[in-house]
Chains A and B, each alone.
Chain A
Amino acid sequence: MTESANGEQDTRIGVFLVDDHGLFRAGVRAELERAVPDVEVVGEAGSVEEAVAGIRHLRPDVVLLDVHMPDGGGAEVLRRIRPELPDVVFLALSVSDAAEDVIAVIRAGARGYVTKTISGRELADAVRRVHTGDAVFSPRLAGFVLDAFSDRPGAAPHSDPELDMLTPRERDVLRLLARGYAYKEIAGELFISVKTVETHVSSVLRKTQMSNRYELSRWASDRRLV
């Protein structure tokens, strides 16, 4: 579907929608197609099976993934398709605000998490950002991650300090994200470049996905991810 095969430079981002609610898929498709010229919806799926087959066949750039679906949900799609197609980027989209849901899809490999109430323009922005390799942290996700990496008394000791702790700078960046700052504003606030902000956020994402910290692995294991 994407025209990247012919010589013409196609800058449109191919998006694949996975959600078990047809009405919601139609809504997102209409919003993206109306508002954003550089994002193209190349396909959609309403179940895990359809999603795996469709993604394999269409090779989209970005997959918008519902967290809650019958037979396993977004995490199951990630588990089945990601080892095979590591270049496809996943952005989770959900109505749930429960911390364990958010952390579970992030740990299964999604590069960001936004809630379904997000506007079409913001969604397109998030799609663009994950497509260029960035992570998308909504204020709420930033809050969850800050919480998960906090050092409360009684927290389990760290087995791998490199992965189990955030640097003070990463913490600063997350705090500003949680306060609703955009990357550019964070860069201005901390006197660093936008590129450095992106690096910090990507590093936080990596730690969230790889760390064996008790709080993270508990959330994940509750959902049978580990």
Chain B
Amino acid sequence: MGCVNASPTSVRPSSAPPLVRWRNGRFVAGVAGGVADHLGVPVLWVRVAFAALAVVNGAGIAAYGLLWMFVRQEQDDVERELSPVERQQAFGLAALGIAVAFAGSAIGSPIVGWVVGPLGVAAIGAAVVWREADESQRRRWTEGALQTSRSTKLRVIAGALFVAVGITVFLLANLELGQLQFAVLAVVSTLAGVAVITVPWWLRLVRDLGEERRERIIEAERAEIAAHLHDSVLQTLALIQRQADQPREVVRLARGQERELRAWLYGPTGYGRRGGGDPALESGFTEALTKAAAEVEDTYAMDVRPVVVGSDRPLDDGLRALLLAAREAMVNAAKHSGAAEISVFAEIEPAEVNVFVRDRGVGFDPAAVPEDRHGLAESVRGRMERHGGTVRLRTAPGEGTEVHLRMPVEEKPDEEESP
């Protein structure tokens, strides 16, 4: 209780902020700012690094583009100002980066003029589409609705056309191929261009859907928890307030509620175990014994705390008899021992199940029990012996009582043992 974290980030306060693109205060796409935050360095350094890297065959630009494509934009509106000086710097660096990239390739290759032009057109086309995807995403965050306007479609188509044209011109200028091969190549490369252009859009779509689904699940969980707490805990608290003058009743209510909540949180089929539980064992021996203990606790307003060890088994005739016998032993202890607490320990072993019911009450002399008291003799011993089990009783006046019930069971086949 009281351990709900305010936000997921508070779990790992030491690690670097996740890599996201800036929403405010960005010059192009906020990549440099996000990288700077992530690495903990000034944003200017990152911009310089991108520009410098552009010398190496335009690697800086490629890196920037890839980051733009794969890193999502930050969710929160963080206040940032892009000062005029910073804007100028950024603009200068961006221009410089593009210039050195072209200059570098121009020096390295004689036909670079033919390459730079078409590729530039393709790059602009791709940028238009990428930017469009970004804007639609932003619109969904602000308005909660995705509207596909005509201009959106037009821009996507225009971008694709640009890329196709760019690649076609590039191939036409640089390769000497036969007519047929040329046509095939042009079609394939156009398709490839369209695929490349729409990749970031699909990526974003999938990511957004995943995020929305996660939020919906969290919302549903919260509603379920609230509903459960309302039906159980709040009702019980109201009852307790009304019966505050009856301590015995208050204790009974509180214990019952505690047990119920505990089963819901930690029980084999409870909230915290959901998905992991074996549905076949829902009415297994463990749960049945726990339930029996709870009934005795409620009826006689005393503490019965069962401890069960071993892998659970489904109820069969023998175990059902054992269960009823154990319940009878608990009832006897509750009625006659005068103790405030009953210990119940059950151990489920492959070949037998043992249950111990113990109290530290007054105890009794077994030989002195009158004939007409059928409780233990009939319902416990008779029931157990009919199914091949045994009963051992240890008691003496003033020493408390312990009933040991033993029931042999059939060994389970191995494949059912896996947890």
Identify the A interface with B (CB < 8 A). 20-21, 68-71, 73, 95-98, 117, 139-140, 142-143, 146-147, 150, 152-154, 175, 178-181
Contact = CB atoms under 8 A, between A and B. Distances in A.
A69 B2 CA distance: 7
User: Which range holds the interface residue count of chain B?
Assistant: 20 to 34
Given A98-B272, A179-B358, A180-B358, A70 B311 contact: no
B255 to A, nearest CB: 8
Interface in B1-22: 1-5, 10
A70 B266 contact: no
B417 A139 contact: no
A175 B2 contact: no
A143 B2 CA distance: 27
A69 B3 contact: yes
Nearest to A143: B307
A139 B3 contact: no
Interface of B: 1-5, 10, 258, 262, 265-266, 272, 305, 307-311, 341, 343, 345, 347, 356, 358, 360, 402, 414, 417-419
Contacts of B5: 70
- Chain A residues touching B, majority SS: loop
Contact of A98 (B3, B258, B266, B343): B266
A160 to B, nearest CB: 23
A178 B345 contact: yes
8 contacts: A68-B1, A96-B266, A139-B307, A139-B343, A152-B417, A154-B417, A154-B419, A179-B358
Contacts of A142: 307
B305 A147 contact: no
B3 A153 contact: no
A118 B93 CA distance: 69
B2 A139 contact: no
Contact of B3 (A70, A140, A143, A154): A70
A139 B345 contact: yes
Contacts of A154: 417-419
Given A152-B417, A180-B358, A175 B266 contact: no
Contacts of B1: 21, 68, 95
Return the 9 tightest CB-CB contacts between A and B, nearest first: A180-B343, A143-B307, A179-B345, A98-B266, A179-B356, A178-B345, A68-B3, A153-B417, A146-B309
B296 to A, nearest CB: 15
B124 to A, nearest CB: 49
B2 A20 contact: yes
A143 B305 CA distance: 12
Contacts of A175: 345, 347
Contact of A97 (B266, B310, B345, B356): B266
